[in-house]
Structure 1
Amino acid sequence: MTLTRSGPVLGLRANAAQFTLLVAVNALVGGMLGQERTVLPLLAEQTFHLAAYTAALTYILAFGITKAAANFFAGTWSDRYGRKPVLIAGWLIGLPVPLLLIWAPSWGWIVAANVLLGVNQGLTWSTTVIMKIDLVGPQRRGLAMGLNEAAGYVAVAVTAMATGHLAATHGLRPAPFLLGLAYAALALGLSVFAVKETRGHAHHEAATHAPTQTVSTGRIFLRTSFTEPALSSASQAGMVNNLNDGLAWGLFPLLFAAHGLTLAQIGLLAALYPLIWGLGQLITGAASDRHGRKPFIVAGMLLQAAALALVAHGTTMTTWAIALTLLGAGTAMVYPTLLAAIGDIAHPATRARTIGVYRLWRDGGFAIGALLSGLIADTHGIPAAIWTVAALTAASGALAAVRMYETHRPVVPADARTG
C-alpha cells in the first residue's frame, strides 16, 4: 500500500500487493458460498426428505435476509470503525458454518448455518468491495469490480464442481464441507495478519471532492433506494439479478435431477453458470470503464431473461449448458458494472453506506427469489417458476433502460483532446 507525505496514493498499480491480497480473500468468500451450490438442494431432498420446494428453500431465504442486513451494517460499520475490523468479524462468524452443515441433525440446523453464512458473506464481501474501491480511485473502478467479482464467482464455480465430485465419491456429508472449513480458517488468518486498513484512502479521495454536508444514513437509504434515478435503478436491477440467482441455486439442481442427470453432471452445470459469470467479469468490468455502465446493465438483464426462458424450455444437458452459459454471460455484464455505477455516483465520504444500501437490496433478492420461486414451484411446477422469474428479469432490464442515466464518463487523454 503506497503512502506519500501528502497521504495515500490511489490507483491499482500503486496498491497492487494489497489489492491482490483482497482478491484472494474474496475468492475464499466465494468458496464459502460455493460449498453449498451443488450439495445443499440435494441434501434437503435426499437426507432430510423435504417434499415442498418452499420448505427446502428456507435456507436460501434465511441466507438472503441475513446477508442483505449484514451488507447494510457492513457499510455503516466500515465508515465508523474501519474496514478491517468488519472483515475480521465476518470471518469469525463464518468459521462455524461448515461444522454446522456437517453435523446438522435436522433441517433447522441447516437454516441456522445459513443465517451465519449470510452474515459472513455480507460483512466479508461488502468489505472487500469497499476496500478495493478505496484503493483504486475513480478511473479503474470497473476493472477493480470485475477482478473482485471474478475471483469470488470463479471460486463459487470451482468449489461447486469440487463438492459435486466429492459428494459423488464420498457422499453428501462430510467431505464436501471440509473445503469450506479450510477456506474460512485461511481467510481469517489472512485478514488478521496481512490485510491493511483502507479507510484512509477514502478520506484522502474525499479531500479532492467538493465538501459535503453530514448526511444521515436514512437519507442515503432513501436516495439509493428510490429518489436518485441511477442509484435506484441499480438497486432494483441488483435485486432482480440475485432473485434469479436464488432461483438457480435452489431449484436448478432439483430440475436437473428430475430429468435423470447424475450428481457429477449436476455439479458440472451448477459450476458452469458462476464460472462464466466470474470469468466474464474480467472483460465486462474493464469494458464498462471505456464504454459506460448503462449499456452493459440493460443488455445483461435482457440476456439473463432469455437464458432463463431457455432453461425453462430445455430438457437436455446440452440445452441447459447453453442456457447457463448465456445466463453467466448476462450476469457478468451486470454484476461488476452495477457496483462500479454506485461507486461513480456516491461521494467518498458516504460511499461505504451507499454500497451497503445497494447490497441490502441486491442480496434481498436471494430471499425474494427463494420465497417466490418456491411458492410457484409448489403450485405450478419448477418450469413455471423459471418462466415467471424470466419475465421479471426482462422487466427489470426495460426499467433500467428507461430510468437510468449513464454514470461514467471516461477521461479522454490530453493528447487525444488536442488532436
Structure 2
Amino acid sequence: MLGQERTVLPLLARDTFRLSAYTAALTYIVAFGATKAVANFFAGTLSDRYGRKPVLVAGWLVAVPVPLLLIWAPSWGWIVFANVLLGVSQGLTWSTTVIMKIDLVGPASRGLAMGFNEAAGYLAVAVTALASGAIAAHAGLRPGPFLLGAAYAALALGLSTLAVRETREHARLEAGRHAASGHDPDAALSTGQIVRRTSLGDRSLSAASQAGMVNNLNDALAWGVFPILFAAHHVPLARIGLLAALYPAVWGLGQLVTGWWSDRAGRKHLITAGMLVQAVAIGLVALGTSVPAWAAAQVLLGVGTALVYPTLLAVVGDIAHPAWRARAVGVYRLWRDGGFAVGAVLAGAVADAWGLTAAIWAVAALTAVSGLVVAVRMDESHPARARGVVPAEGAPAAADHPQG
C-alpha cells in the first residue's frame, strides 16, 4: 500500500496538481505520518483490550477506499484524505502484526521475528514501487499504479479475516510466568505511566523512540523529496521507480539478517552504527549527480535502515512487561511514525527556503546526532547480552530487563 505511492505521488503532485511549493506537495506525508502515529498508540491499547485480530481486520477495512480515492481524486485534498485513511490503516494493521509476532516468540528470538516482519513489509514496498514506476511509464500516473493497491487491500482483508488467529493469550501466559517468577513489579502500570516511561523515563526506551522518529524522518525524505530531486536531473520515470525501489529492497532483505544478528550480538551497537550509516548515505544523495551514484547511496541507506528497524522493535520487546508490551509498542510507534510528519514538514520548509540539497543535508545531520544519542543514552537490552552471556542456539533467554 505504501509502495504504490512512493514513485507516483511526488510526480502526481508536481505534474497533475501543479503544486510548486515543496511544503504543499508533501502534505500527504504529513497526513499519513500524523494519523499513523496516533493510530499506532490506539492499536496497542485496543489490542490489549479487545484482542489483536479485531484491530487487524478493522485496519484493513479502513484501507479498502484508499486506492479508489487516489485514482479518482479531482483535487489534492482528496489525496491528503486518502493518506489520512492510509495512516489509520497502517497504524492498526502493522502495529498489530508486530505485537502478534512478539506475542508468539520468546525473548531470545525477538530480533529475528521483527526482521521477518519488517522484511516482508519493505520487500513488498520495494516490489510495488518498482512495479508502479514501470506501470506509470507505460500507462500514465493514474489509474494503473493504484490498481495494485486495490488488489492488496482485498487480499489482506481476506487473509486477516479467514487465516489469522488471535495471539493475546500468549502474552497473558508470559505475564503469568513473570508473576510466578517474582519479576512482576511493573505489571500494573497505567497507560499514562507507560507513555512517560517509553517516551522519557526509561533511558533505552526513550533513546529508541527518538531514533525511530529520526529513522522515519529519513524515510519521509526518501519518499517525498528524492523522486523530485531525481526528476529535476531528468532521470526517466522507470529509473526513478528503480531508485525508489532499491532503498526498501535492501532494507527489507537486510532485516532477514540484522534481526537475527541483534539476537546474537546485542541491540545497541547495531542501532548506533545503522543511524550513522544512514547519515552518510543521505549525504551521498546530496552530493550525487548520476543514477549510479544515487543507486549506491540508496543501497547504503537501505543497509543502515536494516540495522536499525527491527532492532529498535526488539529493544521495546526486551524491556516492556508482557502485560503492557502492546501499549509500549504503540507508544514507540507513535514517536517513530510521527517522524513521517516531522520529516515532511522539515524537508518541505528547508527545501522551499534553501533548496532540495539543503533539506537533504539537514536530515543527514539530524540522523548523525540521533546515532550519537543512542550511543550515549541507550543501555544494552538483550537479556543475555545485558548480563554478558551469549545464549546457545535455541536456548531460552531471561524475559526480564532492569529498567534504565
What's the TM-score bracket when you normalise by the shorter of the two chains? over 0.9
**1:307-318, aligned counterparts within 5 Å?**
307-318=281-292
Secondary structure of the equivalent of 2:165?
A: coil
Residue 373 of structure 2 corresponds to residue 399 of structure 1: yes
Q: Deviations over 1:149-180 (max 9, x none)?
A: 00000000000000000000111000100000
Secondary structure of the equivalent of 2:383?
A: coil
Question: What's 1:412 paired with?
Answer: 391
Look up the equivalent residue of 2:111 and give its one-letter code. G
Contact 2:209 2:335 in 1 (8 A): yes
1:413 Cα offset (Å): 3.9
CA RMSD of aligned residues (A): 1.2
Residue 20 of structure 2 corresponds to residue 46 of structure 1: no
In structure 2, distance between residues paired with 1:49 and 1:82:
44
Look up the equivalent residue of 2:391 and give its one-letter code. V
Question: What's 1:21 paired with?
Answer: none
Residue 270 of structure 2 corresponds to residue 296 of structure 1: yes
Question: What's 1:374 paired with?
Answer: 348
Question: What's 2:136 paired with?
Answer: 167
Identity among equivalent pairs (%): 72
1:208–1:51: structure 2 CA closer, same or farther, 3 Å change rule?
A: same
Question: What's 2:306 paired with?
Answer: 332
**1:124-203, aligned counterparts within 5 Å?**
124-203=93-172
1:415–1:84: structure 2 CA closer, same or farther, 3 Å change rule?
A: closer
Contact 1:54 1:374 in 2 (8 A): yes
Look up the equivalent residue of 2:355 and give its one-letter code. G
- Which of 349, 367, 370 is 2:323 aligned to? 349
| Deviation beyond 6 Å, 4+ runs, structure 1 | none
1:140–1:49: structure 2 CA closer, same or farther, 3 Å change rule?
A: same
Question: What's 2:68 paired with?
Answer: 99
1:213 Cα offset (Å): 4.2
Contact 2:187 2:321 in 1 (8 A): no
Question: What's 1:27 paired with?
Answer: none
Question: What's 2:245 paired with?
Answer: 271
In structure 2, distance between residues paired with 1:258 and 1:415:
51
Question: What's 1:224 paired with?
Answer: 198
Contact 1:142 1:340 in 2 (8 A): yes
Contact 1:68 1:122 in 2 (8 A): yes
1:42–1:208: structure 2 CA closer, same or farther, 3 Å change rule?
A: same
Look up the equivalent residue of 2:362 and give its one-letter code. T
In structure 1, distance between residues paired with 2:86 and 2:274:
28
Q: Deviations over 1:105-137 (max 9, x none)?
A: 000000000000000100000000000010112
Look up the equivalent residue of 1:326 and give its one-letter code. L
Question: Tell me, which stretches of 5 or more residues in structure 1 are unaligned?
Answer: 1-31
Q: Deviations over 1:61-90 (max 9, x none)?
A: 000000000000000000000000000000
In structure 1, distance between residues paired with 2:92 and 2:358:
34
1:412 Cα offset (Å): 3.0
How many positions carry a matched residue from both structures?
385
Contact 2:10 2:25 in 1 (8 A): yes
**1:238-277, aligned counterparts within 5 Å?**
238-277=212-251
In structure 2, distance between residues paired with 1:297 and 1:415:
24
Look up the equivalent residue of 2:106 and give its one-letter code. G
Look up the equivalent residue of 1:412 and give its one-letter code. P
Q: Deviations over 1:254-293 (max 9, x none)?
A: 0000001000000000000000000000000000000000
1:363–1:415: structure 2 CA closer, same or farther, 3 Å change rule?
A: closer
Contact 1:137 1:205 in 2 (8 A): no
Residue 38 of structure 2 corresponds to residue 69 of structure 1: yes
1:415–1:370: structure 2 CA closer, same or farther, 3 Å change rule?
A: closer
Look up the equivalent residue of 1:157 and give its one-letter code. A
- Which of 60, 65, 85 is 2:54 aligned to? 85
Look up the equivalent residue of 1:37 and give its one-letter code. R
Residue 290 of structure 2 corresponds to residue 321 of structure 1: no
Contact 2:6 2:223 in 1 (8 A): yes
The TM-score with structure 2 as length reference comes to 0.94
In structure 2, distance between residues paired with 1:147 and 1:170:
34
In structure 2, distance between residues paired with 1:403 and 1:96:
43
Secondary structure of the equivalent of 2:373?
A: helix
1:208 Cα offset (Å): 1.1
Q: Deviations over 1:191-231 (max 9, x none)?
A: 11110000000001111113344211111000000010000
Question: What's 1:109 paired with?
Answer: 78
Q: Deviations over 1:387-410 (max 9, x none)?
A: 000000000000100010100033
